Amino acid sequence: MPYQQFLADARSQSSWIVDIRRQLHRFPEVMYEEMKTSQLVRDTLDELGISYQSGIAETGVVATLGTGESPCVALRADMDALPIHEETDVPFRSEVDGKMHACGHDCHTAMLLGAAKLLRECESELPGTVRFLFQPAEEGGAGGKRMRDEGVLENPNVERIFGLHVWPPLPTGTIGSRTGTFLAAAGELKITIHGKGGHAAKPHYCVDPVVASAKVITELQTIISRNLDPLDSGVVSITAIHGGEAYNVIPETVQLSGTIRALTMERLQWLQDRVRSLTTQVAAANECEATVDFPGNAYPPTVNDGGVWDSVQEFAGELLGRDAVHEVPPVMGGEDFAFYTEQVPGCFVALGIRNEEAGCTHNVHHPLFKVDEDALPIGSALHACFAVQALRDLSDA
């Protein structure tokens, strides 16, 4: 099938794709709670006559089209929302207080279902197997790692994988990515500063963890500015401070949390070691004790295979025009798509959704984040094109 036909068909089914997206947007579910989302995915696959397995990584769904044999390629969408209260004025805004699809995963899921619909209509022409990964818990829950560990890249083995992410910096109708590291390795940081509490009117009888915490926060910034090579990239950000309950009481402890990011796992480990060393020493200099933890799963960097990105540029240039395909610099955001590309050559691509006239200008993770829905059929077509092109390339190899 000519790739322009995929785009034409996707645009003719735009209202179907957009309706799914809006249903998902109204009822956002955070990591590992995607029960309604998973049910909608399964119901839609049933309507399309596409077989699937569910309950993978708790709420994940894996659907399959094609011969069921090698070669096999995978398309991935994440499904979870964020604990952010929506402030947009869209008529389909979140109906769940404190939760919002502020990172576009509703779009990702709808676009992948749109691609499944496109490929279902030409299933008999597929020279292999296409696997659709509807994944939970990208936002900190490492759902990609759990999906991978539960075998979604096996039987038959996935040989290429592709993912899309809506991208506010790029205008609708364009895409961007790069060879090599595209997104950073990312991890969580938690620090507890222990002091000695007491009456705020008698600080000389206390050991103040608030003052020590302020010094720790300030000194942590010197890691990037004074310890890291200026030509390297890293982030150490403290994003939350919790300590004390009353205006006249010095608390026993203060808790800090934040994130550490780098472009390699080796550099991320180096930053973690430096954070631990600096924090404990600054706390000790202020007669406090500090515990430093890195909970959860550190996400590896998202690394694109050069050959796969070259292929994407070819069909995307045919689909959207050469000027619509951009090479973009690395970004310090993290993505658990990285757990798949640790095992399988793949490509993660930014899909432009910026439209000033429609008010689609805010970045992801913002309560006013909006998406230009004209981009959704483009995303579905790109998924379908990737599946067909990758299967052809693998079959001809």
Order of all β-strands in the sheet with 346-354: 51-56, 60-66, 129-135, 72-78, 160-171, 346-354, 175-177, 325-327
| pLDDT per residue as tens digits for the range 344-366 | 999 999 999 999 999 999 999 99
- pLDDT tier for residue 367 given thresholds of 50, 70 and 90: very high
pTM: 0.95
| pLDDT per residue as tens digits for the range 154-184 | 999 999 999 999 999 999 999 999 999 999 9
Write b or e for each residue in 164-201: b if 16 or more Cβ atoms lie within 10 A of its Cβ, otherwise e.
Answer: bbbbbebbbbbbbbbbebbbbbbbbbebbbbbebbebe
CA 337 to chain centre: 7
Distance CA 364, CA 81 (A): 11
Distance CA 264, CA 266 (A): 5
Q: Minimal CA–CA distance to 179: which of 326, 321, 300?
A: 326
Distance CA 144, CA 135 (A): 7
* Over residues 286-307, mean pLDDT: 96
- pLDDT tier for residue 296 given thresholds of 50, 70 and 90: confident
Q: Minimal CA–CA distance to 113: which of 19, 18, 211, 45?
A: 45
396 vs 214, more confident: 214
Same fold, 3-183+301-396 and 185-293: no
Please tell me the predicted confidence (pLDDT) of residue 396: 87
* Over residues 277-302, mean pLDDT: 97
Whether pLDDT at 332 is above 90 = yes
Please tell me the predicted confidence (pLDDT) of residue 130: 98
CATH class of the 3-183+301-396 domain in this structure: alpha beta
Whether pLDDT at 219 is above 70 = yes
- pLDDT tier for residue 234 given thresholds of 50, 70 and 90: very high
Asked if 345 contacts 159 with a C-beta cutoff of 8 angstroms, the reply is yes
Asked if 150 contacts 329 with a C-beta cutoff of 8 angstroms, the reply is no
Taking the C-alpha atoms of 336, 342, 345 and 350 in order, what is their torsion angle to the nearest 10 degrees? Answer: 20
Q: How far is the CA of 180 from the CAs of 265, 287, 305, 356, in angstroms?
A: 14, 45, 6, 31
| pLDDT per residue as tens digits for the range 78-125 | 999 999 999 999 999 999 999 999 999 999 999 999 999 999 999 999
DSSP state of 211: H
Whether pLDDT at 397 is above 90 = no
- pLDDT tier for residue 1 given thresholds of 50, 70 and 90: low
Which residue stretches of the chain are H helix? 3-12, 14-26, 35-48, 105-120, 143-149, 209-222, 265-285, 306-320, 338-341, 376-396
| pLDDT per residue as tens digits for the range 7-66 | 999 999 999 999 999 999 999 999 999 999 999 999 999 999 999 999 999 999 999 999
Domain boundaries, the chain: 3-183+301-396, 185-293
What is the chain's mean pLDDT, rounded? 97
* Over residues 302-307, mean pLDDT: 98
The CATH number of the domain covering residues in 185-293: 3.30.70.360
DSSP track, 264-316: SHHHHHHHHHHHHHHHHHHHHHTT-EEEEE--S-PBPPEEE-HHHHHHHHHHH
Distance CA 326, CA 297 (A): 31
Q: How far is the CA of 68 from the CAs of 51, 138, 161, 165, 167, in angstroms?
A: 11, 27, 16, 27, 33
* Over residues 374-395, mean pLDDT: 97
- pLDDT tier for residue 318 given thresholds of 50, 70 and 90: very high
Q: How far is the CA of 62 from the CAs of 30, 65, 78, 151, in angstroms?
A: 19, 10, 12, 11
Q: Which residues contact 192 (CB under 8 A, 6 or more apart)?
A: 253, 254, 255, 256, 290, 291
Parallel/antiparallel/unpaired status of strands 72-78 and 60-66? unpaired
Please tell me the predicted confidence (pLDDT) of residue 2: 75
